[in-house]
Chains A and B, each alone.
Chain A
Amino acid sequence: MEPVLHAVALYIILMLIFRIAGKRSLAQITTFDFVLLLVIGEATQQALVGKDFSMTNSILLIVTLVGIDVGLSLIKQRFEKVEKWLDSTPVILVDNGKLLNERLKKARVDASDILSKARELQGLERLEQIKYAVLEPSGGITIIPKEK
C-alpha cells in the first residue's frame, strides 16, 4: 500500500509545487535549470524508493504514476476547468510588435527572452517583425512573424 500512497502523494505535491513555481520553471532555460531538475528527480526518488529495491516496488510505482497521468488526461478531456487548472492556458505577450508589459511582468518573461526565441524560431531581427508572441502552457514561447 505504501508505494502507491507515496506515489500519489508525491505526484500531487510535485504538481502543486510546479504550478506554484510558474510556467517558465519547467521550460529549462539555463544549464542550471537542467541541473535543478536532475536534483529534484533524485530527491523524489529517495522518498519513493527508500530502501526497497525490488522490481515489484519499481513497477508498482511506475504503473501508479503513469496511471494517474492517464486518469487525469481522461478527466481533463471531460472537464475543461480541470484542464485549465492542471495545464494552464496560453498568454499572448506581444501583439503586433508591441510588448504587453503588464503580462510580461506577471509571467516573469522579459523582452530579451522573446527576442531570443524570435531569432531561434523564425530568424527575426526586431520586435516589430513579430506579429504575436505567445507564452505556451508548457512554458515555451512561440513566435508568429508578421507577413511580408
Chain B
Amino acid sequence: MVSERGKSNMSPVKKVGSLEIVEDLKFQKREWDFERAGWVVMAVLVLLGVLGLFGDGPISQAEQTSPGGLKISYERFERRTNPTLLELEFPPEAVQNGQLHWWINREYVKRVQVDGIFPDPEQVETTADRIIYTVNVPDAAGPILVKLNVSAEKGGRLPVEIGWLDGDTLIFNQFIFP
C-alpha cells in the first residue's frame, strides 16, 4: 500500500510559463532579507573583533594599580588555548630581606596552563588557596618586573587574585571565549 502522505510534504512544483520549477518568491524575498540582516551581524562581529572584544584590542587591554603601587597589565578577554601575558610590576617596598614573595590564587593556576614565569622563582610554595613564588631581589632600586605567560584550557570566567605576601592584592576577572 503506497502512502500518499510523503508526497504532500514535498515542495509543490509550480509552473512558470513552460518551466516546471519549485520557485517560491515569497520565501526567496524573506531569504534575501535574512541575508542582509546577517551581513549587518557579521559586520558588527568583525568590528567587535577588531576592537578587541575577543582579545587583543582596546576593549580587552586592561591595567590596574593597587594603592601600594602594584601594577598589572592583562587582557580582560582572551580565547581558549591562545597564550596571554600577565605583566606585573611590584613596588620596591614589596621586597623583604632581599626577597620578593608574590602569590597568585590557586583557582587560576588550576584552570590555566602556565607556559612560563619570569623571573624563574627561587622557591615555590603552595597553600590551600595560593601559590607563592619567591624571587631574589638583591638590589630593590626600582619596580620589580614579573611576567606570567599562560593559556586557558577551557572557556569561561577566570577569577584572578594576585599580590605580594602581607601586601596589596589585586582582584579581577578574565573571560575566555571557547
Contacts and interface: CB of A to CB of B under 8 A. Distances in A.
Contacts of A92: 16, 19, 21, 23
Contacts of A16: 38
B11 interface: yes
Contacts of A96: 17
Interface residues of A, number: 26
B23 A89 contact: yes
Interface in A2-21: 16-17, 19-21
A50 B19 CA distance: 49
A65 B18 CA distance: 39
B22 interface: yes
B9 A90 contact: no
Nearest to B25: A91
Interface of A: 16-17, 19-22, 50, 77-80, 83-84, 88-92, 95-96, 106-107, 131-132, 134, 144
A21 to B, nearest CB: 8
Contacts of A144: 19
Interface of B: 6, 9-11, 16-19, 21-25, 27-29, 31-32, 34-35, 38-39, 41-42, 81
Contacts of B9: 77-80
Given A50-B81, A80-B9, A80-B10, A95 B28 contact: no
B34 A89 contact: no
Contacts of B17: 95-96, 132
Quick one: which of A21, A79, A91 has the most chain B CB within 10 A?
A: A91
B81 to A, nearest CB: 7
Quick one: which of A84, A95, A107, A131 has the most chain B CB within 10 A?
A: A84
A125 B31 CA distance: 32
Contacts of A107: 32
19 contacts: A16-B38, A20-B42, A22-B35, A50-B81, A77-B9, A79-B9, A80-B9, A84-B11, A84-B27, A89-B11, A89-B28, A89-B31, A90-B23, A91-B28, A92-B23, A95-B17, A131-B18, A132-B19, A134-B19
Contacts of B22: 89-90
A112 to B, nearest CB: 21
Quick one: which of A79, A92, A96 has the most chain B CB within 10 A?
A: A92
Nearest to B42: A20
B35 to A, nearest CB: 6
Contacts of B34: 19-20
A51 to B, nearest CB: 8
B106 to A, nearest CB: 25
Contact of A20 (B18, B19, B24, B35): B35
Contacts of A131: 18
A6 B18 CA distance: 46
Nearest to A95: B17
Contacts of B11: 80, 83-84, 89
